Structures are given as C-alpha cells and as structure tokens.
Structure 1
Amino acid sequence: MAHWQCIQGCGACCQLNPSDRPDLADYLTPDELAHYLSLVGEDGWCINYDHEQRRCKIYETRPDFCRVQPDTFSRMFGIDPAELDEFAIDCCEQQIAGVYGNQSAELDRFIATVDPDPET
C-alpha cells in the first residue's frame, strides 16, 4: 500500500503562484490566506524556498497549511485521516507534474518513494 512522504530535493509544493490555486480562499482562513500571499515571491515561488539546495529554509517552523498531516487536511479539505495518504499522493503527483513535467525525475522519484512495490 502506498504511503505519502515528502521527498528531498523536490520543492514542487513551494511553487505558490496563486493563479495556479484559484480556490485558496475556500480552504484557508483569511489570516492564513494573507500569510500565504505574503510568502509568494515575484517568481511565484515561496520566499523561503532555497532554489540551490532545493529545500525549505523554514521547514521545521513552516505554516500549518504547508504541512501534510491529518488534522490540517481534515480542517482544510475535509479529508478523513484514513484517506490522507491517497489524497496527498494525488495532490503531490499533480503538483510535481505541473511544476516539473509528467516525465520528470522528480515525479519518478516521488512515485518510487511513496509506492516502492506497486505490484502489492
């Protein structure tokens, strides 16, 4: 069974361009939305994303809306904790494909990480 996990050296979720996420106000509180928008750099990437290292500079203290955890996804999207892995994997696959492409090394690595034995 596939289990969601973040992969190092990806950062696709740090591409925050609001035009790619027109429904932000549907799942973020007004304060969270303001915080989210304050993190968007001129290039659409989070201002805390280190492009050279390909990692979040504030990972340990990142906002709740950046965390893939049951309580956050339940509150924001109404996802039952039992469905978190499937939902998060689908979200990540879409985001990685949108940022890096359907045939990218990042997407291949993510899929291999979350489902190392797809035959089971």
Structure 2
Amino acid sequence: MATWQCMQGCGACCYLDLSDRPEVATILDEAEFALYQSLIGEDGWCIHFEPITRRCQIYAERPRFCRVTPEVFADLYGITAEELDEFAIACCREHISDRYGERSLELLRYEYALTQSLADS
C-alpha cells in the first residue's frame, strides 16, 4: 500500500467552496465551521492559498481540519490510523481530479509520487 503524502505545488485541497464540500457543515463543530467559512475567498479558494506557487501561506499554523494526521482523521471521519493512507490518497485523487482534471499533470505527478512511496518502502 502506498503511503499518503502531500504533493507540494498542488493545493487542490485548498479549494474550500462549500458547493464542492457540502459535508463540511456536518463534520466540523460550530466554531471550526465558522473558521472554515471565514477562510473561503470570493473565488472559492482559501484566502491563505498562494495561487502562483500553489502553497499555503500559513502552513505551520494552518487549522486542525487542514492537517492530515491520524488524530484529526479519527476525530473528523472516524478513520483509524491503519486506514489513513488509503483514505487520504482517495481524498487527494478526488480533489486533484475535481480541480485540475482526471488527465491533468497534477494527477500524473501525484500518481508518480505514490509509486515512489511504494518503491521507497
């Protein structure tokens, strides 16, 4: 099984528009949902997402719901640590496909990164 990893220069998960993610309102508590909503820019992207570099400007201080850790995913999605890689990889594939397309360079780069994680293990 491949190991999940964040692909620098992607940012697909930084598209926060609620029409793309209606489940967010049911997953987050009231305070986190208010924070989530406050981060959505007019274009649907997080206000801290830098579109040229496709990087988060507050990565070290990003909110809890932006973190892919066993603790966060267990709390928000009921995902066990053993399920995390498979679940997070599926989420990334979906977000990348939705934002950049199923035949995009971004998705090809992500798939290549996953094959590298298999080769390294």
- State the alpha-carbon separation in 2 of the partners of residues 74 and 18 from structure 1: 22
Q: Which residue of 2 aligns with 1:79?
A: 79
Q: Which residue of 1 aligns with 2:103?
A: 103
What's the TM-score once normalised by structure 2's chain length? 0.94
Q: Which residue of 1 aligns with 2:29?
A: 29
Deviation of 1:54 after TM superposition, in Å, equals: 1.1
- State the alpha-carbon separation in 2 of the partners of residues 82 and 115 from structure 1: 19
RMSD (Å) for aligned C-alpha atoms: 1.4
Deviation of 1:76 after TM superposition, in Å, equals: 0.2
Deviation of 1:26 after TM superposition, in Å, equals: 1.7
Q: 1:51-90, aligned counterparts within 5 Å?
A: 51-90=51-90
Q: Which residue of 1 aligns with 2:4?
A: 4
The letter of the residue matching 1:14 is C
- The percent of aligned pairs where both chains have the same amino acid is 53
Q: 1:36-55, aligned counterparts within 5 Å?
A: 36-55=36-55
What's the TM-score once normalised by structure 1's chain length? 0.95
- State the alpha-carbon separation in 1 of the partners of residues 75 and 114 from structure 2: 24
- State the alpha-carbon separation in 1 of the partners of residues 11 and 19 from structure 2: 18
- State the alpha-carbon separation in 1 of the partners of residues 114 and 72 from structure 2: 20
Whether contact under 8 Å (1:3, 1:115) holds in the other structure is no
Deviation of 1:79 after TM superposition, in Å, equals: 0.2
- State the alpha-carbon separation in 1 of the partners of residues 69 and 57 from structure 2: 20
The answer for unaligned runs of 5 or more in structure 1 is: none
Count of residue pairs the alignment pairs up: 119
Q: Which residue of 2 aligns with 1:92?
A: 92
